[in-house]
Amino acid sequence: MLTADQLSTIKATVPVLEEGGEALTRHFYQRMFRENPEVLAFFNPAHQHTGGQQRALAAAICAYAKHIENPSVLAGAVELIAQKHASLGIQAHHYPIVGSNLLASIKEVLGGSATPAVIDAWAAAYNQLADLFIAREQKIYTEQKAEHGWNGFKRFIVKQREQASDNIVSLYLAAEDGQALQPHLPGQYITLRITPKDGTPMMRNYSLSNPAGSEYYRISVKHEVATTPATPDGVCSSFVHHQLQVGDVVELAPPCGEFTLQAPLHAEGPLVFIAGGVGITPILSMLHSALAQHPDREIIFIQCAINGNVRAFSDELATLQNKYTNLKTHLRLSEPNATDREQQVHNSEGFIDQELFDKLIGERQSEFYLCGPTPMLSHVWHLLKARHVADCDIHYEFFGPAAELAA
């Protein structure tokens, strides 16, 4: 427990963190990677390059400081981070590494403002938070062992490759030891660990796009292509697209994630799934389960893509549309090409707007599941809030470090 003086000191640092939090977290990551390079494998360099990781950590530190007297307010954020940590195999002995570098960065960045009282208070606050994460992550590891039969990383064989779109390839993965897979929760992700010939392992989270209970895991990976000359193509996605072949062995950690299909909160009104780009991967797994579990409930699936070439899973969605009479699908393309218009593959053009919601949903109370690029999520979230949709009826997931939709 923090003392009254420590609590007061932490709260007094909130304005400083709000003004200089990103500078602090940039310094922290640079320092930790320099002093403890063994932790580099846990981080995606792209998130460091864009600054997303630093902004997310700065926001998390500020939120923790603001709610230091009642950290239970942050239960949702803690669960999200704990699931991410467990997916990567973070253990209790990693926390002192983070803590020592964070405190050192506070001293070096804040200078004279980092008095002994400030360092003492933040050391106590960090240890409190670390204990919370360690306890939750150990529970996740125990649950994984009981539900899926393993912890850490296990060898899987690539059984099949197929193109889901021009820029997304699906891999079908089966356990090398032949062990049957237990159903994942629709929406969860696994961690893929691969070691190229240079010997440097890479770990990335990929959503499971297959129906829960399949005999395989299916991940569907978008090739992340550089958008500027100063940034490289995605290292892991390039390896998956250009080098990983049927018969190759990879390593997987058990399913993780808190963005999962929930029991409906309302007896009536449709379930609405909205997917943008590769964000369709967890949504598709949810869609399969929702159709099987709720055959009498209207289910609306809105898919957003730039054009038909990068629209994923068109055949699979067509099969579901033909099989389930309660499913209504709508494809909105933001930049349809000539072939799209000639073949009329899409239902509408542009970005999602209130007119589309009026047409498909009207005034009915609905529950929404969203996944896609952050700008799309923010845009749709604001549209839904303008329709007075309750927060409990909006479920969403970010790919990469969590951000703030309400900004």
In the chain, domain spans: 4-148, 154-256, 271-397
Q: Which helix (H) or strand (E) element contains residue 377?
A: helix 374-386
- As averages over each run of 10 residues, the pLDDT of the chain (407 residues) reads 92 87 90 93 77 80 88 88 94 95 92 91 93 95 96 97 97 97 97 84 94 97 83 86 96 97 89 97 98 95 97 97 97 95 92 96 96 94 96 86 56
Is this model's pTM higher than 0.75 or not?
Answer: yes
Residue/partner pairs of 72-77 with CB below 8 Å, 24 or more apart: 76/258, 77/402
The architecture that CATH gives domain 154-256 is Beta Barrel (2.40)
Q: DSSP letter at 269?
A: S
What pLDDT is attached to residue 196?
79
- Rounded-to-5 percentages of helix, strand, coil across the chain: 50, 20, 30
Residue from 84, 102, 80 nearest 17 by CA: 102
**Catalytic hit among 64, 126, 137, 172:** 137
Asked whether 185 and 254 are in contact (CB, 8 A), the reply is no
Residue 394 bridge partners (DSSP) = 368
- The CA distance from 125 to 239, in Å, is 40
**Catalytic hit among 95, 172, 189, 217:** 95
What pLDDT is attached to residue 401?
57
- The CA distance from 329 to 307, in Å, is 16
By three-state DSSP, how is residue 205 classified? strand
The yes-or-no answer on residue 95 being catalytic is: yes
The yes-or-no answer on residue 217 being catalytic is: no
Q: Tell me which CATH code domain 4-148 carries.
A: 1.10.490.10
What pLDDT is attached to residue 353?
96
Residue 249 bridge partners (DSSP) = 157
Phi, psi angle pair for 172, to nearest 5°: -105, 125
User: Right CATH number for 271-397 from 3.40.50.150, 3.30.1280.10, 3.40.50.300, 3.40.50.80?
Assistant: 3.40.50.80
